[in-house]
């Protein structure tokens, strides 16, 4: 439980219009912080799309209105900041570029790294805030022995979001509060009802926010037309067994949409964007013992000087697996697993844990 805050402590809460960030703001106000709500405008969608009852994305206009209603209910000031240009440059352009390379990116990682805990913190500084806060299910703890802030899993293991936060720096962790990290989703709903927040029963946002219908090919069609060129589908022996209609339609481990009649199910094993080739194989061909990752960031340690035994996740919903991480040059690492792992996907993150602590992570190459 958070300690009672000094009256001078000012915190800016990233209010998405959802129940988690709304409860975060309510809890901080109860703790005695001077709370300011701030909603980030990250992208533009047509009005009729944003107001669709079936939409489960944290869509701009509707989210802004919901966040403002919560701020009014809590009696706190609420601001809207326009980060659309920065979001396009750092998140969407990377998303498009990665798909064009035959990779499968996770834009939430980029958004957290460059927008929510970088640009947002800069804007909070201009308001004289000591901290920022979000509705993430994760926890931050100071370790006096190591002299470092630790990032820990959220209490609710089903909602834990520490996987998406491994890029946070020590400076960012020192200035960040996760008020709902020590709660379960059920607890959060109950608190929202207690405060009669207008979003208490609101459904959660799902999937990628700037692709509300989750139709990635439709979103990418005008941006990277070269990724929609037909090309060969090969088996592991290099024989042509079919034709694809563009590499953006596929990801490693995918089974559906291949259009190939075969005695056994076939899966995408690899994608070669340069040659415009999809390689397929059996399920057993998806298993690998090791991977290499780049853009590695560390939290529990300053850097990796020698091999370290960890538990590793190769995607958000992946079960942790025993592994050893070996440092390489230029911020790269090699990860060797105790048991083969299925569908290691370039562009996704591999995140390392020791118990509940996030050690670090990187992008699978």
- Residues with a catalytic annotation lie at 111, 209
Tokens of 176: 């960040």
- Judge whether 23 and 201 are in contact, CB under 8 Å: no
- Judge whether 210 and 93 are in contact, CB under 8 Å: no
Q: Compute CA 360 distance to the chain's CA centroid, rounded to the nearest angstrom.
A: 14
Burial 237-268 (b: 16+ CB within 10 A, else e): eeeeebebebbbbbbbbbeeebeeeeeeebbb
Tokens of 113: 């790294």
Which residue, among 23, 5, 3, has the nearest Cα to 13 in the 3D structure? 23
Question: What's the rounded Cα separation, in Å, for the pair 255 and 190?
Answer: 41
Question: What's the rounded Cα separation, in Å, for the pair 64 and 70?
Answer: 10
Question: What's the rounded Cα separation, in Å, for the pair 54 and 66?
Answer: 16
Angle, nearest 10°, between helix axes 19-30 and 60-74?
Answer: 20
- Judge whether 84 and 233 are in contact, CB under 8 Å: no
Question: What's the rounded Cα separation, in Å, for the pair 157 and 150?
Answer: 17
């Amino acid at each position: 439980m958070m300690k009672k805050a000094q009256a001078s402590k000012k915190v800016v809460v990233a209010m998405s219009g959802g129940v988690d960030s709304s409860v975060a703001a309510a809890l901080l106000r109860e703790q005695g912080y001077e709370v300011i709500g701030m909603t980030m405008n990250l992208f533009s969608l047509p009005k009729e799309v944003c107001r669709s009852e079936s939409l489960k994305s944290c869509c701009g206009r509707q989210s802004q209105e919901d966040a403002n209603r919560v701020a009014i209910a809590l009696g706190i000031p609420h601001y809207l900041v326009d980060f659309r240009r920065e979001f396009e440059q750092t998140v969407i352009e990377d998303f498009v570029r990665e798909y064009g390379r035959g990779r499968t990116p996770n834009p939430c990682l980029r958004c957290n790294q460059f927008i929510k805990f970088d640009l947002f913190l800069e804007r909070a500084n201009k308001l004289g805030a000591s901290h920022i806060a979000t509705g993430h299910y994760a926890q931050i703890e100071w370790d006096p022995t190591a002299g470092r802030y630790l990032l820990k899993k959220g209490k609710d293991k089903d909602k834990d979001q520490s996987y998406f936060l491994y890029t946070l720096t020590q400076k960012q962790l020192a200035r960040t509060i996760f008020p709902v990290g020590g709660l379960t989703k059920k607890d959060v709903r109950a608190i929202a009802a207690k405060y009669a927040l207008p979003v208490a029963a609101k459904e959660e946002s799902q999937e990628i926010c700037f692709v509300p219908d989750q139709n990635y090919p439709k979103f990418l069609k005008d941006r990277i037309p070269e990724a929609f060129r037909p090309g060969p589908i090969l088996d592991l022996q290099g024989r042509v067994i079919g034709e694809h209609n563009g590499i953006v339609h596929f990801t490693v481990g995918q089974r559906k949409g291949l259009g190939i009649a075969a005695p056994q199910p076939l899966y995408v094993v690899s994608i070669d964007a340069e040659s415009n080739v999809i390689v397929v194989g059996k399920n057993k061909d998806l298993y690998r013992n090791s991977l290499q990752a780049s853009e590695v960031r560390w939290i529990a340690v300053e850097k990796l000087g020698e091999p370290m035994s960890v538990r590793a996740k190769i995607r958000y919903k992946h079960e942790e697996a025993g592994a050893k991480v070996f440092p390489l040059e230029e911020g790269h690492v090699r990860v060797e697993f105790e048991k083969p792992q299925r569908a290691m996907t370039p562009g996704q993150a591999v995140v390392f844990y020791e118990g509940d602590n996030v050690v670090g992570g990187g992008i699978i190459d």
